[in-house]
Amino acid sequence: MTRSNSAPHSRPFPQPIDRVAIVLMVALSLIIGILLLTGDHAAAHVRSFSWQDKQIGADDTAFTLTFSRPMDHASVEANLRLEPPLPGKASWAGRRMAYTLTTPAPYGTQFQVHLQSAKDRFASSRTVMQPFNGRFQTRDRAFAYIGVSGEEAGRLVLYNLNQQKKDVLTPKDLVVTEFKAYPLGDRLLFAATARTEQPTVLTDQQLFTVTTGIQIQPPVQLDTAAVAPPQPTAQPLGVVTPVLDNKDYQNLKFDLSADGNIIVVQRVSRNNPSDFGPWLVKAGEPPQPLKGQPGGDFLITPDSNSLAIAQGQGLAILPLQPNAKPLDFLPKFGMVLGFARDGSLATTVKFNTDNTRSLFLVSNQGTQKELLRTPGSILSTQFDPAKQTLYCLLTEVLTSGDMYQEQPYLAAIDLKTSKLRPLVALPDQRDVQMSLAPDGLALLFDQTVEAVKDNTAAAGQLRDSTGKAIADSRLWLLPIDPTNPAAKAQPESLPLPGLRPRWLP
């Protein structure tokens, strides 16, 4: 056997450049280890606060603090202070902490955010972060209403409770019949008729917008893209813009979507009364009918994508698209009254065969719960922000011999127990409207007085929902304590003659 002349195979010795790389890796590993054990000398700090110098509303439910380093969660949560206090819960995603409010921040309030003595997660000495001080404020408490006396009669009026300031928004030649606020409070959508010597005819109303002069700096919503929300163009108050005329169609009931991008109007053709139904109005687009979807009372859902409308013997949920098929149908309900802000709950009315009405709580999971059965009317409902209490405008039937009368009253229903608690009786009137403040701390309602003699010659004579002339009306404010729902409060008369009050968002 011959021996091979080839050299035995052996592992090559590391080249000089490999040895240098190995030395560098070892050195860097030692440095990283030392830094992890001892920490660096730069104290952690807050890089950004999402509500800094912003004006928040009831829909702004959480802010974020983004830190320069990973933080000890418990020390941050223990040392975070808000003045005045705002209860909430903290959650974490890496270096970002979100603080979610359990109840809306009270309007008309300035807040300070303080954080000090919080600790770095990895520093061996538990290095204390740099103190942080932030600030934000809530929107002013403001509402709009329709004036009833003097130069204000039939005109939209804006009142700021914080500034004690009143502004008339619409011109004298228009008589406003109804209105709704846009989400930032910078504009109002309203229906109005021309002021003439003849009684106001609702079928002649047109739609307009008017600016309020309010300019706010809203924060970025956490569930949207992390870009600044579009800011409305700064305009002075009282700028009126036509939205929908009444040349070919009569404009009846209307609703504005929660995002302010869609208007739905019930319209009837002047030439063909059988041509009626809801129309879709979007900014920059011609109005178009939701064909094949005639019906009665309706509301746009809180997600601004669907319409709840009474049809036949039930309620249909329709996508806001022409010729679209219903998403759902609730056969036993004849009317939808309102939605919770997040769309998880709705209130509906069932008309019973014994001439009573039932108020139902319906969830988006399909559950249905009867809250109330009454021989009277169920006029309107509004959920409190925590979805624990439902505020209702109801009527009590009063009979005496052949006399039949419905007397309105305000009530609160505990949604867990279905217990009803009367709040305020409203005798000697039938046409009432209420509005719950966005922070849930007050109710506005009106008290109208019918004219003794229906003066049909009065220019722009205001009328209630039954068509009767209104001689006078005043506004009332009922304070609410969410922490003590059973507490009884007395309504306060406001020195503002008006009707149909509505809080701005």
In DSSP notation, 444-456 reads: EEEEEEE-SS--T
Is there a domain that residue 390 lies in? Answer: yes
Query: Residue 84 falls within a domain, yes or no?
Result: yes
The pLDDT confidence band at residue 60, using thresholds 50, 70 and 90, is very high
pLDDT digits (tens, 9 = 90+) for 428-485: 777 789 999 999 999 999 988 776 565 544 555 676 666 677 778 899 999 999 877 6
Q: Is 234 exposed, middle or buried (0-12, 13-18, 19+ CB in 10 A)?
A: exposed
* Chosen domain end from 394, 427, 460: 427
Give a yes or no: residue 92 inside a domain: yes
**Is residue 379 assigned to a domain?**
yes
Amino acid at 367: T
Burial 390-406, CB ≥16 within 10 A → b, else e:
bbbbbbbeeeeeeeeee
Over residues 129-174, the pLDDT tens digits come to 899 999 999 999 999 999 998 999 999 999 999 999 999 999 999 9
The answer on pLDDT for 1 being more than 80 is no
Residue 75 falls inside a structural domain: yes
In a domain, 373, yes or no: yes
Residue 190 identity: F
Of the residues 370, 399, 427, the one at which a domain ends: 427
Whether 188 and 169 have beta carbons less than 8 Å apart is answered as: yes
User: Closest Cα to residue 179, out of 211, 222, 212, 209?
Assistant: 209
Domain that holds residue 376: 332-427
CATH code of residue 123 = 2.60.40.1220
User: From CA 294, how far away is CA 398, in angstroms rounded?
Assistant: 36
Residue 372 reports pLDDT greater than 70: yes
Does the residue 351 lie in any domain? yes
Please indicate whether residue 296 or residue 325 has the higher confidence score (pLDDT): 296
pLDDT of residue 328: 82
Q: Could you say which of 427, 450, 479 is where a domain stops?
A: 427
- 4-46 pLDDT, tens digit per residue, is 444 444 455 567 777 777 878 888 888 777 666 555 557 889 9
357 assigned to some structural domain: yes
> Total domain count for the chain?
2
